[in-house]
């Protein structure tokens, strides 16, 4: 498996959920992977396992809400590997509240990670990719089905994810002539710790999980591996003519709604 052979890739939020699956999948496909997260123990364990399986991965403590951390992450990558080919802006948090329930501090915290963090990750990643010349690079931003449709009691989350859709289009417009592509993956309900935390806030978590699965045409929630394989596609050369797009990986959630 070598769809990403010789590519240097950063994945934020790589210590759990979809990010973890992407780190593992990228490692299996031959990429040199930098996993970035604030959860050091889990993050390090995952890259150790990738390396034990024959991959090439390192962990870097990074808080994407802090621009200095993002800059240090990019600088360390360039110093260690000499280039940056792929950046996956995956880190994200969730707040389950309506518009009127959301406090200013909660909104600012969510936006600092989900939207502001992604924006500045992409900014500094593109700056690094511009040094690649004609080789360019690929930006993959983790959006959501909620980049396209809204769900009750997720006002700030939907706001942030909707903005990411336009972020990749803007990058595609501004840097397409440099062969830098940018695309957004928009998953439906995926079995992750983030989804688990959401279900636990519901009166009947088991019923809420079953209801979520039934919302999809495939009548189930997705797996992190299914999303990770889509990230491999967008990161690699098989998607060389794909940019500014939103890849909806939602098991038919939006279609059924």
Residue with tokens 């996993």: 35
113 Cβ contact partners less than 8 Å away, ≥ 6 residues apart = 64, 65, 91, 92, 93
- What are the residues whose beta carbons fall under 8 Å from the beta carbon of 181, sequence distance 6 or more? 136, 137, 138, 139, 172, 234, 239, 240, 242, 243
Write out the catalytic residue numbers: 157
User: What is the C-alpha separation between 157 and 244, in angstroms, rounded?
Assistant: 21
Q: Which pair of tokens denotes residue 70?
A: 């993002």
Strands 32-37 and 8-12: parallel
């Amino acid at each position: 498996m070598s769809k990403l052979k010789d590519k240097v890739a950063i994945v934020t939020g790589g210590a759990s959920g979809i990010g973890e699956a992407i780190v593992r999948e990228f490692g299996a496909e031959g990429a040199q992977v930098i996993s970035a997260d604030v959860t050091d123990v889990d993050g390090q364990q995952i890259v150790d396992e990738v390396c034990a399986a024959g991959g090439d991965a390192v962990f870097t403590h990074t808080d994407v809400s802090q621009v200095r951390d993002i800059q240090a992450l990019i600088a360390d990558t360039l110093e260690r590997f000499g280039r940056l080919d792929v950046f996956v802006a995956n880190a994200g948090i969730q707040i389950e509240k309506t518009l009127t329930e959301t406090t200013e501090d909660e909104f600012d915290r969510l936006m600092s990670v989900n939207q502001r963090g992604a924006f500045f990750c992409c900014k500094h990643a593109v700056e690094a990719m511009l040094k690649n010349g004609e080789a360019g690079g690929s930006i993959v931003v983790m959006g959501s089905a909620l980049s396209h449709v809204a769900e009750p009691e997720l006002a700030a989350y939907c706001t942030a994810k909707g903005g990411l859709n336009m972020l990749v289009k803007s990058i595609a417009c501004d840097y397409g002539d440099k062969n830098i592509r940018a695309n957004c993956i928009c998953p439906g309900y995926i079995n992750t710790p983030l989804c688990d935390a959401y279900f636990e806030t519901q009166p009947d978590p088991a019923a809420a999980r079953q209801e979520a699965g039934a919302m999809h045409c495939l009548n189930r929630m997705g797996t992190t591996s299914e999303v990770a394989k889509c990230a491999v596609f967008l990161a690699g050369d098989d998607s060389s003519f794909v940019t500014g797009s939103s890849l909806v990986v939602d098991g038919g959630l939006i279609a059924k709604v």
